[in-house]
A and B are shown apart, each in its own frame.
Chain A
Amino acid sequence: MNIIKQYLWIPLIVLGIGFITLGILRAEYEKVYSNAAFICLSCIGIEEAY
């Protein structure tokens, strides 16, 4: 059990890199940018945003 815990970071890193690659292929960075680039009214605390 300890051995599994000790090396669990390896599959997790692989999974992380896989997710990032998938995210890039799906152009998720554009959605991240479009959400972050403009003034986010929710972040300021204005309810009329939605």
Chain B
Amino acid sequence: MNRYRRFTQICTLILSNCYILSGLKYCPFPIMNCHACPLAATACGIGALQHFLTIGAFPFLVLGIFLLIGSTIGRLLCGWACPFGFFQELLYKIPMNKLTFPQWTGMFKYLIFLVLVVLLPMVVQEPWFCKLCPVGALEAGIPLWIKDEGIRQMIGPLFHVKFLILYGLIYLMMITERPFCRMICPAGAIFSLFKKISLFRVNGVPDKCIPCNKCTRRCPAGVTPISNDCVMCMNCVGTCKNVWAGMNPPQRHRDTGKSEK
């Protein structure tokens, strides 16, 4: 399963940064891939959402895409397609002392979504998440800083703040599993709302769970499949009979009537 996932992650990384397909920028894509990257082929869903909120228009197209994808496959794109998620998984492979953050830190992403993606763009008409986004620093800031003399001359304090966030996050990526997805990602915050209601789901049976941590050890985000932070990678599906992936819980779990919280 992990091999297929790697393959789709690499394909998405190439396709979303394949300049010849830049006509796809008409479509907001709900994965973290900055559209200011010189090679980007798709528009960032979160960037587009903020753009509509800054101009005071209701984002029908962007919300429609988030609703359609969220209600069909939930957070599957996070685990199988997001280039920044892939980057985090690669960095976590660097041998270092590893750390696990408490589950409640996952609530930060909802706060970040509300304040930086929705409220501030509406009130001050500036895309504040984009201004601080570490994905933009990595994919757009670095290449354009190298390439463009004009950009280098315009650099101010915000650029350094953005890079400080990126450096801090890169360190976190090396010591803990997918910290951006769990604590910061606004797209993940939207998709995690569909965790228990999407058509295709990965979930577990809370009542039958003995905390053996077999699933968390296989998880690239270091969480259980019951958690809202689950990125639906499906690595845990074969490891425990209480974990299932599909449209409905298997019959043996439905019989108990307690298949999901």
Contact = CB atoms under 8 A, between A and B. Distances in A.
Interface of A: 5-6, 8-9, 12-13, 15-24, 26, 28-33, 35-37, 39-48, 50
Contacts of B248: 6
B158 A17 contact: no
Contacts of A8: 71, 197
Interface in B108-149: 125-127, 130-131, 133, 136-137, 140-141, 144-145
Contacts, number: 158
Contacts of B43: 32-33, 35-36
Contacts of B66: 16
Contacts of B48: 32, 35-36
A40 B101 CA distance: 33
**Contact size range, B:** 35 or more
A20 B64 CA distance: 5
22 contacts: A5-B197, A9-B71, A13-B68, A13-B72, A16-B71, A19-B61, A23-B59, A28-B52, A28-B60, A28-B61, A31-B52, A32-B51, A32-B61, A36-B42, A42-B130, A43-B36, A44-B151, A45-B141, A45-B155, A45-B161, A48-B154, A50-B126
**For the complex, would chain A's binding face be called helix, strand, loop or mixed by DSSP majority?**
helix
A39 B64 contact: no
Nearest to A23: B61
A12 B197 contact: yes
B155 A40 contact: no
